[in-house]
Amino acid sequence: MGARRLRVAGGVPLRRPRATRPAARVDHGRAAHLGAARRPRAVLRPRGEGRGALPRRARRRGAQRDRHAVRDAHAEATPLRHARARLEAGPRARTAGVPGGARPPAGRAGLGSRRGVARDRLRRRHREDRRDRAGFRRRAPHRRRARTAPAPPRSRGEGRDAHRVPAGRGRAALTAPASFEARGIRWWLGAGVDAARGRRLVGAALEALARGAEDRKAGRRKASFLLALEGGAPDFLLKRNDYAGLAPWRRLRASKARAELARAQTLARGGIPTPLPVAAGERRSRGLLIQCFELVPWLPDAVDLQRALGDGFASACARRRAARALGELVRRMHDAGVDQDDLAPNNFLWRAGCEPPMLAIDFERTRLRTRVSERARAASLAKLARHCAGESAPSRMRFLLAYSRGDRAEARRRWRDVETEARALLVRDVRRWTRTATRRGRRFEPIELTTPAERWCGWARRSADRALLEAALGSGARHESVWMRELGALSSRRAAAAWGVAQALHQRGACPEPLALLRSKRRAVVLWARPAASAPLDRDLALAARSALVVWMDRLHAIGVSLRRDAALAALAGSLDGRRVGLLDPLAVELDPLAAGGRARARARVQHLLADHAGPPGARG
């Protein structure tokens, strides 16, 4: 009978009689010692006898499994020889110098190959990113050595690279400050803090916390305490984060306080104005985080930029100066390689009459890069613009001019890029809400209802009563506890989008609670929870609730949507006392991510709505 050749990695042929072709398995114990052999051979042991021992399909599957086992055994036995030969042959040679002229096995990137080098580089980059998110660079125990003060950054001339953050390969590295333990908490002092003063401040803060200091931020896992440690007036802020109940893999990493301490020190060395934390502490049990603490100086003359925008500045000149200072600071951060994922006004402190007037804080979700790309810049500016949706167009252009160093062409280009990114972010949020609200989960579920006239299907909240929904469908808009708004004939995709928009608006307080969205063959309706003493808006009720309507319109613009021009008063509802207004038609709004104008635009839109109160009933487009 003829013989069949099976070629494996390394060019080693295996001869096997065709008549007795047995299924074989690899002896990995002996195959592991084949690396020292000049011409390695895989060791095969028969499993069956004769050609007819197994069906043809099983024999083919077994032969394929044997080929894969032989290939893997040979690749595991001689990886260094392949790598050495490839490195000696040069990066462009494919098979030169490799014994037998064979390449590494298909589907596996051998050591020294281009795919292997790319894979190792990607793994190393992911590993470094995980260490950067933890806030410090870990070292193996056998490689630990005494750390010294960070060296000054290398000067690259007076070019654009001279102001980059000296973070070592563009990443945050935690310099090892002196640590000590107090009341079961391991503390690390910030750069430039005297050890004796740091211990004294930490001890006083822990004593004040034990006496029952007042919590300024009553959150689920976060708390902040304003303390007076060196005088009669409050001068320090102690932040606390609780990790109890989180997954173990999240409690094994470095805490948020320690990561923020490292990043604040790195940014301060790079010239970014930020208040440096005094100390950061961690409380652990068997290596798992329980709590973390951060002690930062309290600046009485500084105010949160979000609060300053809401309460209003002292003068128009102060608002213009704040816009310029914010643009210059954000540009410096991006030029230094600081990519802040949650760029928002509450990440900045405004100090009127001080120098510098703007400070950056809260670097919990900050990444240090070698270079911030144009798309990442546009995304950060779009997130910041969404939080400042009520600002006027001249104020935004003033910010972009300061960011662009006075270049009007660049400012106009960035305006277009920011508008595109803001629209994409808003569409992403609506799609996310649509996916969440149209799946069976803790809050929502698909639903099917049957009335004497029609059969309905759609989505509803789990808290909604099915009997109440059936009663509302039967009685129409005359139900006392449910509002029903007809949306016309909608496709399933458009109905799901309307249901997602309704949930997003309800989360931000722009409409009452949506109970269900149902479709039949002829029409679609949305059912809302009807508050007591409320009714759909007409002209008389709208005139009584004019001030509440302006506030609601301004809130709608801050979300990133606006009321359509053809929307009527029937698409809105309000309380009889004129204090609350809500939306009843989710199709009556359109995306407007950079709605500018503030209260002035809201007043003009309300005036237009009252003038056209007899227009078409609701938006259908």
pLDDT tens for 144-181 read: 444 444 444 443 433 444 444 444 433 344 444 568 88
Query: Which of the 8 DSSP states describes residue 531?
Result: P
Confidence tier at 429 by pLDDT (50, 70, 90): confident
Residue of 188 and 478 predicted with greater confidence: 188
Q: What is the mean predicted confidence (pLDDT) over 88-113?
A: 46
Structurally, the chain folds into a number of domains equal to 5
Half-sphere exposure at residue 198, Cβ-oriented, CA atoms within 13 angstroms? 24
Residue 111 has pLDDT above 60, yes or no: no
Residues 334 and 349 in one domain: yes
Query: Same domain for 237 and 279?
Result: yes
Co-location of 285 and 362 in the same domain: no
For 274-315, where are the alpha helices, taking DSSP H only? 305-311
Specify the range with the lowest mean pLDDT, choosing from 129-138, 401-410, 437-446.
Answer: 129-138
> 573 and 521, same structural domain?
no
Say whether pLDDT at 339 is over 70.
yes
Residues 525 and 550 in one domain: no
Question: In the β-sheet with 482-488, what is the strand arrangement from edge to edge?
Answer: 444-450, 455-461, 514-519, 524-529, 482-488
- Residue 160 is assigned to a structural domain of this protein: no
Of 530, 555, 571, the last residue of a domain is 530
Q: Are residues 612 and 571 in the same domain?
A: yes
Q: Determine the pLDDT at residue 169.
A: 39
Q: 321 and 424 share a domain?
A: yes
**349 φψ region: left (φ > 0), alpha (ψ -120 to 50), beta (else):** beta
Give yes or no: residues 526 and 546 share one domain.
no
pLDDT of residue 368 exceeding 50: yes
Short-list 272, 104, 293, CA closest to 183? 293
Within a domain: 48: yes
By residue range, what is the domain housing residue 513?
438-530
Least reliable range by pLDDT among 36-50, 62-76, 347-361, 530-544? 36-50
Measure Cα distances from 487 to 490, 538, 612 in Å: 7, 19, 21
Q: Is residue 123 part of a domain?
A: no
Q: 161 in a domain, yes or no?
A: no
| Res 430: pLDDT | 85
Residue 4 or residue 282, greater confidence: 282
Per-residue pLDDT for 183 more than 80?
yes
Residue 327 lies in a domain: yes
> Is the same domain home to 293 and 182?
yes
Q: For residue 204, how far is the Cα from the chain centroid?
A: 37
- Which has more pLDDT, 461 or 115? 461
Q: Is residue 483 in some structural domain?
A: yes
> Do 340 and 442 sit in the same domain of this protein?
no
CA distances to 243, 268, 283, 423 from 255, rounded to whole Å, are 9, 20, 10, 34
- Is 543 found in the same domain as 509? no
Tell which of 432, 447, 463 closes a domain: 432
Assign 620 a pLDDT band (cuts: 50, 70, 90).
Answer: very low
Examine residue 372 and state whether it is found in any structural domain, yes or no. yes
pLDDT: which is higher, 576 or 4: 576
- Looking at residue 118, what is its pLDDT? 67
* Torsion over CA: 498, 501, 506, 510 (sign): negative
Instruction: Confirm whether 136 is domain-assigned.
Output: no
State the Cα–Cα distance between residues 587 and 606, nearest whole angstrom. Answer: 18
Average pLDDT over residues 203-207: 91
Is residue 72 scored above 80 in pLDDT? no
Residue 57 confidence (pLDDT): 59
Nearest to 520, CA basis, from 472, 463, 469, 451:
451
Among 382, 410, 432, which residue terminates a domain? 432
Same domain, 186 and 282: yes
Q: Is the pLDDT reported for residue 327 higher than 90?
A: yes
Mean pLDDT of 493-500: 91
Average pLDDT over residues 585-594: 82
